[in-house]
Amino acid sequence: MVHRHVAITLLVLACACCAWAESYVGPQKCMACHNSPDIGDQYGAWSSSKHARAYDVLSSSKAASVAKSVGVSDPLKDKRCLTCHTTAYDVAAANKGGVTPDQGVSCEACHGPGAAYTSVHMRDYKGGLAAGMVSLRSRADAERVCRRCHGGPNKGIRSPHSKAFKGEKYFVKIAHPRPRKAK
Ligand code: HEC
Ligand code: HEC
Ligand code: HEC
Ligand code: HEC
């Protein structure tokens, strides 16, 4: 029993530290459970949000003029745009899972790389956090995540067109809550 306990502790530590915890699965994996009305259809809410189109917007004429202003020739290929307009841009291909650029800013850009917590978080929230899930339950924690891209700089890359982050108004726009259980 003691040995088992130690083994589990080591496993949890290993998962929190090793590269596995940095591995992504992609939004289709989350969709498998998070697309039903019973759970709140977070996938549906996200797919109709601007975040799901964050890559597409890089082919607009507005994007072309933003790009030109900072000397970027192809926004669809340039790190100076993709860092904020896609998910897991600088992650090794082997760890990207089902993440592709055209999905834009997807679940794991905010919730953290999911490979390690996907099978844990639904029955053990703290275990999920230990496996790399990002705590977003408090506004303070969540807003830190938003501000990585909204205002930047993200990984040292500044936004060429920064609008101010509009606090609560922005949270309302991306809301995807679970249904409140009847008591
Ligand atoms: C195998 C099914 C399954 C998969 C796959 C899955 N989830 Fe979940 N998730 C759940 C269930 C079930 C809950 C708990 C719902 C409840 O308690 O009402 C949950 C809860 C959550 C919560 C709420 C955590 C909290 O308690 O505050 C978040 C956030 C979340 N999932 C994100 C994700 C993300 C992101 C992915 C993909 C990387 C994902 N989930 C993949 C089933 C799944
Ligand atoms: C530091 C993060 C960051 C970087 C880098 C970045 N963007 Fe953005 N971009 C954002 C955010 C956040 C928004 C959403 C703006 C808002 O509503 O606050 C956005 C919105 C946009 C829009 C839509 C604007 C609109 O008004 O509809 C375009 C077009 C755009 N970005 C182009 C680019 C291009 C081109 C590059 C590269 C030269 C780039 N972005 C680099 C974060 C970034
Ligand atoms: C990985 C970078 C990234 C993160 C993290 C991020 N965003 Fe965004 N967000 C963007 C980009 C890029 C756009 C522009 C997409 C477009 O115009 O199609 C955007 C657009 C938006 C919009 C639409 C604005 C409009 O003009 O309607 C809202 C609202 C928003 N984000 C809220 C949030 C909130 C709230 C958080 C934190 C919980 C957050 N974002 C985290 C990159 C990000
Ligand atoms: C732009 C950042 C962002 C993206 C993208 C995003 N989420 Fe969230 N998510 C949040 C924030 C912030 C919260 C906490 C909101 C709150 O508690 O008011 C949250 C909460 C949740 C919850 C818990 C809701 C509740 O009421 O407890 C689930 C489940 C969830 N997200 C799943 C997903 C899934 C699945 C995806 C992709 C299909 C996704 N999220 C995409 C930022 C994001």
Question: Does the CB atom of residue 51 touch ligand 3 within 6 A?
Answer: yes
Using DSSP's 3-state secondary structure scheme, residue 83 falls into helix
Kindly report the protein residue whose alpha carbon is nearest to atom 38 of ligand 3: 146
Taking the CA of 53 as reference, the closest ligand is 3
pLDDT band of residue 151 (cuts 50, 70, 90) is: confident
Q: What is the mean pLDDT of residues 21-39?
A: 94
pLDDT band of residue 119 (cuts 50, 70, 90) is: very high
24-112+135-173 belongs to CATH 3.20.20.140:
no
pLDDT for position 1: 45
Best residue among 82, 90, 161 to mutate for probing ligand 2's pocket (most ligand atoms within 8 Å of CB) is 161
Measured in angstroms, how far is the CA atom of residue 9 from the centroid of ligand 3? 37
Model pTM score? 0.93
Distances (CA, A) of 57 to 36, 136, 143: 28, 26, 23
Kindly report the protein residue whose alpha carbon is nearest to atom 36 of ligand 1: 30
Cα separation of 159 and 81, whole Å? Answer: 8
Question: Does the CB atom of residue 105 touch ligand 3 within 6 A?
Answer: yes
